[in-house]
Chain A
Amino acid sequence: GAVVSQHPSRVICKSGTSVKIECRSLDFQATTMFWYRQFPKQSLMLMATSNEGSKATYEQGVEKDKFLINHASLTLSTLTVTSAHPEDSSFYICSARDREGDAFYGYTFGSGTRLTVV
């Protein structure tokens, strides 16, 4: 089945630095990538939606200058948390929609990245 590889799985960074999270679709073309954020014991909250070759669409309240999303190819999307602060510590997870997929097959999740900002 479809696989999305997400790296790193865990990262600790110092406050003020930037962190890049990658999601690669290994065996299908991901025209659309969704980026979610999940705080402990809470649900997944959609941060942004990116389509290959175009600018990401951010959800209300998400700072686009802080969470930079790049979807330059059909197999790679990246999320960069710029000037990270402790409140950015969270679990970030991506989800890709297969190019030709029906809704049933359309959502494949990465394994998630646990970000801790110290």
Chain B
Amino acid sequence: AQKITQTQPGMFVQEKEAVTLDCTYDTSDPSYGLFWYKQPSSGEMIFLIYQGSYDQQNATEGRYSLNFQKARKSANLVISASQLGDSAMYFCAMSPRIGAGSYQLTFGKGTKLSVIP
């Protein structure tokens, strides 16, 4: 079974500052994928970034980077130069990478990020 833990229900960050959203995970799968999604108040799920468990380098996508520490089972999202439009719920999720099965995503409880002007 897979489990995602996000311990920060809410976070505040000043506009233009960087912020780190925490995510830890637990799994017995030898290979897995880690995802971050943004959910604005409209409800849509916006894919931000992906990290494979065997990827040697931390993933980056524009202002988003994933601080992947495999030994600590953490996959923190770093948002640089925060913008007002970054205010939203952020979900960490994971799935098995290979093997039989439905490859379903398991989500954390989410972190509500508020960017202060």
A interface residues, Cβ below 8 angstroms from B: 32, 34, 38, 42-44, 46, 49, 51, 57, 91, 93, 95, 97, 103-104, 106-107, 109, 111-112, 114
Contact = CB atoms under 8 A, between A and B. Distances in A.
Contacts, number: 55
Given A43-B109, A44-B91, A44-B107, A114 B43 contact: yes
A103 B95 contact: yes
A111 B41 CA distance: 12
B68 interface: no
Interface in B1-51: 33, 35, 37, 42-45, 47, 50
Interface residues of B, number: 22
SS class, residues of chain B in contact with chain A? loop
B44 A32 contact: no
13 contacts: A32-B102, A34-B105, A42-B110, A43-B109, A44-B91, A44-B107, A49-B102, A103-B52, A103-B103, A104-B33, A107-B95, A112-B44, A114-B43
SS class, residues of chain A in contact with chain B? strand
B6 to A, nearest CB: 9
Contacts of A57: 102
Nearest to A111: B44
B59 to A, nearest CB: 10
Contacts of B110: 42-43
